[in-house]
Structure 1
Amino acid sequence: MLKIKNKNSGFTLIEALTLLFVFSIITLSFYSVMSVGLRYIQDSKNRLAALAVANEKMEIVRNLKYDDVGTTGAGTGSLPEDEDVTENGKTFHIDTVVGYDDDDYDNNYPADVIPGDFKQVIITVLWGDAGLGGNNSVELKSRFVPPGLEVANTGDGILSINIFSDQPGGAGIPDSSVHIINNDTVLDTNQTTDSSGNVILIGPNIQDSIQKYEIIVSKNGYETVATMPPFPDTNYNPTFVHASVVSGGVNVANIVQNELADLDIDTVDYLNQPIGNIDFHLNGGKLLGIETTEPFDLIYNLVTDENTDSGGEKEFNGISPGQYEFSLLESGYRIIGIDPPFSYKLPNTGDDIYLLSLFSEPPLGIKVKLASKAVASLLVSVLKSTDKSPIFGAVVQLTNAFGYDVSQITPIDGRAFFPTTTDVFASGLYNLKITADGFSDSDSQVTIIDDQLKVETIELNAI
């Protein structure tokens, strides 16, 4: 019997699965591209609609008389500072800011006694969530110039607010949001600083009022700074008190606002090996004020007890730059130095407080070097005999009869720690010699005891 071989064999299971996999990849890729494309199309439609809303709002402002160009919050006009509108089923939020600008053409304050030369209107339309790139907003700006010569309204006060940084190279902070409130004059307005960090308020709601103009300043990536009522309404003397206005002149309020800073703290031993789970106290940052009674302590915006993780690290992100005090809360350890070196106060106590200087840039990383109080070692502090301040650059030499001979140069904290290597630091009698330019030498003996940190304070006399 003749057998016919069938050449039309079907797909194997592996071939079918491979085909299905390739088809799935193509389908998912097409769907992803289509989804992104649809999102961009929708975002473009929303942006065009928002721009139309902003233009419509600006046209309304352009049809107002100059004296009527203002917001209800500032009491200078009928424009709402915040409102929601719906166009084609889409809800948009409108922020309207009307501020005064001081034109350089006729000089600036104080040479220009009428600094409100013209008005600047900023209309911002926002919509949706974060969206593509988080830029779901459009903004229009326009200047409005008064007709004829500028004339001061005798009944209106003038409040000029300067927002600036006190960091190295600091200047005025542009585009900071400034919220001004005074319940006595029915003022509640939001403004934005100009390119020089200035906001000028003029109008019937800027009236005689002493220390009643509350100012809150904020900006993304910067400190939020708020003025406070004077003592005793605040239980200390605040750094930034509510502003005052006296009619007949320009009233100036200066507020420091700095870019936020980052601080990284590592706790290590004298060989820079991590020591984890160390408790410490940190106090500093923005100076809020001063206590009204002795010892007139400074009050800062960051006061916290923290601890390093198991790897000996603790990060502080987005905190105010400024002076910080670092102290240890661990009874079994002693600070023997900080890298990079910083000065300290209370050098003759077991609870040294190191003074850290933190700037907006660059981020600061410090290594806090610790020594166990239960291990044979020596910490030497070299001080001036007059004011007990540390001596920088002193040579500290430690020797004994068995050939130990190690010298160190003190950093700005005036300290030297022994041992300096992993070699055994033997107990016994040592000779301690200290020399420093401009000071008399010191020769003494110290006894190192097993399982104990020895602390020596040497005072040198100036010559």
Structure 2
Amino acid sequence: MDCLREVELKDIETGYPRGNIADFLITDKIIVDLKAKKYILKEDSYQMRRYLKSADIELKRIVSFSDLYLKTKRMLNSNFSGNSDTFGDSDRDKGFTLIETVVGVALVTLVFGGLFVALQGSLRLLNQSRIITTAQALATEKMELIKNLPYNDVGTISGIPPGLLPQEEYVVRNDVSYLVRTKIIYIDDPFDDLSPTDTLATDYKQARVEINPINSNLGSKNPVTFISNISPKGIETTAGGGTLSILIFNSLGEPVQSAEVVIQKNNAAPFVDITTYTDSFGRVILPGAPECTECYFVSATKSGYSIDRTYTDAEVANPDKPYLTVLEGQLTEQSFGIDLLSNLTISSFGARGAGFPPLPGVNFHLRGSKIIGTDVLGDPVYEYDQNLSTGGGGGVTVSGLTWGSYDLTLENSPTLDLAGTNPQLLALVPAGQMVFLDFSVAPDTTHSLLVKVSDNSTSLADAQVRVFNVGLGYDQTQSSGNLVDPDAGQAFFSGLTQNSYEVEVTIAGFALASITVQVENDVVEEIILSPE
């Protein structure tokens, strides 16, 4: 059934528009006109009669939506099909056409559909209001419980300060589950200076109660939160312990807000096991932490971010971030760096002479630049240090990497030599990015030389790299690889002997570079050219 909207009607006699615009024109026979009025006036009827007569339309319906009930008026063009020039309405002209019936059903469906949607919205809002009211009542109840506890008991189980209150519990009210989180911390008020100048940093306590509806459409992003300060009866109390200060920053050195910080102390009572979140300055400050030596495990992360944490000497012989020590009346500070995780896609190819064909199943070693300590021999221990292999298509994606630089070697592929990488230096992986690294390989020889040519920032393609040894009668020249190839800005020389070789590099616009290289096993030499 054809239905046009906002149609300008043409005069039946002249064939030209006369400025009459119908809201809807159905099958060229029925006009439907929508009104936002409480009553259908005579002026509306006169207007519709003019439309019908001018355009020779058979039927007209006026529909008004601005009252409690839907109102319609049916009008017939008696002049249509040769009748006299008179007009009647539905009270005098009996009967309905099939098209009228369809239009009427559509209008009723539209109205009741809108009412149903409005009813659904009202019920949803009513349910949300009931849930929020219940959550507020739970928060009030919990806060009153806290305020009525003895001051020394105001704390959480395994928290700082310790106390009788659970850090998390579930409560069911009216078939809705609520997660109740309780957080009690000491506040070091700047009025009397801050730790370590203030040797008594536990001035008063702050209670935070957070109520999260679980099985509702409000979700955990809309908690009801109450905060109240709890003061001792005296001016201050001697709680003992020291102050833990944790700073979380990103790859740009900026503070990370709302980072999740886990702090655990499991070696002796009082035990500590709390999860808290950084403020807008990326900090967590906990006065009153129980005193102990290298006993506090701390980790920091955020959804989609890397993890930074402390280590025991069982994990790393000499960790850069050992478990933290808290001393009586002292301030313990530690910083942690986290940022969005990144992905590195690595692809392996054959040598330049073979046209760089994709080469699946190549074993390689990937190591990041972040050091977390040293081993018993004093050698660095890296956060990421893995043996990997490219897949069936010659590629593999390493997910969840911390920002930094990554180095690729073939130390676990004894039958292959590394003939080039793109980028030619370390793969720099920014936070939250997808980075691509290509490398080419050649059959292994006992001694080889890979020359990497750059201007200290960019790989240089088409440089002429000459390697020679007059005594050995060896003299070979290759061009450095194109920037789109797996050996961008590099030239690979295999089948050498253990000896010293002269290396000369020339390219237009740069001064000649000449060095002597001692070749033994597989050697990689970086040559940085200077502009002329």
Counterparts of 1:299-310 in structure 2, within 5 Å, are 299-300=382-383, 303=386, 305-307=388-390, 310=393
Deviation at 1:216, TM superposition (A): 3.9
Match in the other structure for 1:238: 319
* Residues 127 and 288 (structure 1), Cα distance of their counterparts in 2 relative to 1, 3 Å cut: farther
| CA contact 1:261–1:358 (8 Å) conserved in 2 | no
Tell me, yes or no, if structure 1 residue 252 matches structure 2 residue 355.
Answer: no
1:416 aligns with 2:489: yes
Partner of 1:58: 143
Gaps of 5+ in 2: 1-94, 467-476, 493-502
Verify the 8 A CA contact 1:397 1:408 in the aligned structure 2: no
Closer/same/farther in 2, CA of residues 57 and 300 from structure 1, 3 Å limit: same
Matches within 5 A, 1:272-311: 275=358, 277=360, 279=362, 280-284=364-368, 287-293=371-377, 296-300=379-383, 303=386, 305-307=388-390, 310=393
Q: What's the CA shift string for 1:16-35, capped at 9, x where partnerless? A: 9x999999999999878766
- Is residue 183 of structure 2 the alignment partner of residue 113 of structure 1? no
Which among 302, 309, 321 is matched to residue 403 of structure 2? 321
Aligned partner (choices 214, 222, 225) of residue 297 of structure 2 = 214
Higher relative contact order (CA 8 A, sep 6+): 1
Whether contact under 8 Å (1:100, 1:116) holds in the other structure is yes
Which residue, out of 243, 251, 259, partners 1:159?
243
Higher Rg of the two aligned structures: 2
Q: Distance in 2 between matches of 1:397 and 1:242?
A: 54
Please tell me whether residue 265 in structure 1 is matched to residue 333 in structure 2.
no
Deviations 1:356-381, CA, capped at 9 Å, x for gaps: 343435x242342436669xxx9850
1:397 aligns with 2:481: no
Pairing 1:360–2:398 present: no
Cα distance between partner residues in 2 of 1:130 and 1:141: 24
SS class of match (2:463): strand
Residue 23 to residue 393, structure 1, CA distance change in 2 (3 Å): same
For the residues of structure 2 that align with 1:256 and 1:300, how far apart are their CA atoms? 14
Output the CA distance in 2 between the equivalents of 1:191 and 1:458: 49
Mapping 1:72-151, distance limit 5 Å: 72-74=157-159, 76-129=162-215, 131=217, 135=221, 137-146=223-232, 149-150=235-236
Mapped contact 1:173–1:257 kept (Cα < 8 A): no
SS at match of 1:45: helix
The alignment's TM-score, normalised by the length of structure 1, stands at 0.65
Aligned residue-pair number: 395
Q: Tell whether 2:411 aligns with 1:338.
A: no
How high is the TM-score relative to the length of structure 2? 0.58
Unmatched runs of 5 consecutive residues or more in structure 1: 1-7, 344-354, 420-431, 445-454
Does structure 2 retain, via aligned residues, the 8 Å contact 1:98–1:191? no
Change (3 A) 1:460 1:98: closer
Give how far 1:227 is off. 3.0
Root-mean-square deviation over aligned CA pairs: 5.2
Counterpart residue number, 1:370: 440
Structure 2 distance, partners of 1:21, 1:266, is 59
Superposition deviation, residue 118 in structure 1: 3.5
One-letter identity of the residue aligned with 1:119: K
Question: Given that residues 155 and 163 in structure 2 are in contact (C-alpha distance below 8 angstroms), is that contact kept between their aligned partners in structure 1?
Answer: yes
- Aligned pair partner of 2:505 in 407, 428, 434: 434
After superposition, what is the alpha-carbon deviation per residue over 1:1-20, rounded to whole angstroms, capped at 9, x for unaligned?
xxxxxxx99989xx99x999
**Is 1:189 matched with 2:189?**
no
Relative to 1, partners in 2 of residues 1:32 and 1:313: Cα closer, same or farther, differing over 3 Å?
Answer: farther
Distance 1:359 1:239, change over 3 A: farther
Amino acid aligned to 1:49:
T
- The corresponding residue for 1:429 is none
**What are the superposed Cα offsets for residues 271-299 of structure 1, whole Å, 9 maximum, x if unpaired?**
x99947464443337644322136x2414
Deviation at 1:462, TM superposition (A): 11
Paired residues of 1:394 and 1:414 also in contact (CA < 8 A)? no
CA distance in 1, matches of 2:297, 2:316: 17
Conserved in 2, the CA contact under 8 Å of 1:118 and 1:143?
yes
Residue 224 of structure 1 and its aligned partner are, at CA, apart by 3.8
Cα-to-partner distance string for 1:60-104 (whole Å, 9 max, x where unaligned): 223345444322323633222222223234332211111123334
Q: C-alpha offsets along residues 181-238 of structure 1, whole Å, 9 cap, x if unaligned?
A: 23412323315244431221416xx13x222233344433333444333x3x446333
Question: 1 CA distance for matches of 2:174 and 2:458?
Answer: 74
Q: Secondary structure at the match of 1:49?
A: helix
Change (3 A) 1:39 1:394: same
